[in-house]
Amino acid sequence: MYPGDQPKPGKTWSLFSAAERGESWRPGGIQHLAVHEASGKLYALVHQGGIDTHKDPGQDVWVYDLKTQKRIQKIKLDKLATSIQVSKDDAPLMFSIFIGAPTLDVYDASSGKLLRSVDEIGFTPTLLQTPLKISHTANMLLVSNIILWILVLVLLAVMLALLRQVGILYERIAPAGAHKAPSGLKAGEEMPVLEMQTLDGRPLRLGGGPGKGKSTLLFFLSPSCPVCKTLLPVLQSIRNSEAGWLEIVLASDGDKEEHRAWLKAQGMESWLYVLSPQLGMTMQVSQLPFAALVDESGVLRARNPVNNREQIESMLGDQYYEMAG
């Protein structure tokens, strides 16, 4: 932009000394001048020729300092050119073409070194144009690519999180119907002795021979398991009706305070409730909810994933039905 309303021409100066003019040096071509504003350099395509050769091609580019109006560099082109242009970035490139050949030559504008040639750019090329700021364009492309990769990684993380949640739900919400017992301790085998404490500090001994003369129903659950919660009224009913021969122990693992708060919210503070990963591993708990019946002699009678009242009652067996009858 020019200061003021109208452009004002500066003092004229010659590109050539008297000696150079005597040697017939003159500018020529179609687009024979280019300016790199940041460095204050003028690039001129020149040749040696007579009068009226101002459209002739040249193979020399002379570089001038616009401030001192002195030539500071000579660049010898690889081939004749009719047009030149210089990019506007901080590490400028110089481009040259010849109207009779469809090839673009790319030079380092600072050193004059030929970097590469681009063929088949079209017939009779004449005008060369460059973006106002090549580096700015390149930076924008780089930033946009980085943003796209970040979005891809975020989407990948979200997908992995969703897949993990689907796996957790699949384990916790089993389809209705019969379940196949997992491998591990088998029905008829004696349960190893496990000494532990309930959530409210009461000592509890499981397995290893006669105890209180009652069978024990171990019910494995999680506060975040919706199917587990639907079975709590069933367990409450069985606990009330079968108290003479059956004791129910709720089992889980995790943070004590979280389980205490959950148990209080269900109004079940008086229940036997243990947090024991070892108990879960002993029973090979594969998914929730899960139940195991240990008789009064400490022998495992049944263990299976459960998701309805019928499956729990079936696990309790004949003794339950005799009592219910």
Q: Rounded CA gap, 78 and 80, in Å?
A: 7
For 58, residues 6+ apart whose C-beta sits below 8 A from its C-beta are: 27, 28, 29, 32, 45, 46, 47, 77, 80, 81
The answer to the question of residue 84 being in a domain is yes
pLDDT of residue 181: 45
The answer to the question of residue 155 being in a domain is no
Please tell me the total count of domains within the chain.
2
The answer to the question of residue 148 being in a domain is no
Which residues span the domain enclosing 109? Answer: 18-136
**Token pair recorded at residue 26:** 């003159």
Rounded to whole angstroms, the maximal C-alpha distance in the chain is 129
pLDDT of residue 142: 81
Cβ(243)–Cβ(323) below 8 Å: no
DSSP at 109: T
Is 200 in the same domain as 306? Answer: yes
pLDDT of residue 325: 47
Of the residues 136, 154, 180, the one at which a domain ends:
136
Is 108 in the same domain as 230? Answer: no
Cβ(71)–Cβ(19) below 8 Å: no
Of the residues 136, 152, 177, the one at which a domain ends:
136
Using only C-alpha atoms, the chain has a radius of gyration, in whole angstroms, of 44
pLDDT of residue 178: 40
Is 132 in the same domain as 212? Answer: no
The CATH number assigned to the domain holding 102 equals 2.120.10.80
Chunk the chain into consecutive blocks of 10 residues (it has 325) and report each block's average pLDDT, rounded to whole numbers.
Answer: 68 92 93 94 95 92 95 95 93 93 94 94 86 63 89 93 78 47 72 90 80 85 92 93 91 93 92 92 89 90 90 77 48
**Token pair recorded at residue 130:** 């460059």
Please state the φ and ψ torsions of residue 157, each to the nearest 5 degrees.
-65, -40
In this structure, how many other beta carbons lie within 10 angstroms of the beta carbon of residue 39? 14
- At residue 171, the 3 state secondary structure works out as helix
For 264, residues 6+ apart whose C-beta sits below 8 A from its C-beta are: none
Each residue of 290-305: pLDDT tens digit? 999 998 888 899 999 9
The answer to the question of residue 158 being in a domain is no
pLDDT of residue 230: 93
Is 125 in the same domain as 222? Answer: no
Is 92 in the same domain as 202? Answer: no
- At residue 322, the 3 state secondary structure works out as helix
Degrees, nearest 5: CA angle 123-125-131: 130
Is 210 in the same domain as 320? Answer: yes
Of the residues 120, 136, 152, the one at which a domain ends:
136
Q: Rounded CA gap, 128 and 151, in Å?
A: 37
Cβ(231)–Cβ(288) below 8 Å: no
Cα dist from 83 to 54, 86, 104, 111, 203, whole Å: 12, 11, 10, 19, 96
- Residue 214 backbone zone (phi > 0: left; psi -120 to 50: alpha; other: beta): beta
The CATH number assigned to the domain holding 198 equals 3.40.30.10
The answer to the question of residue 291 being in a domain is yes
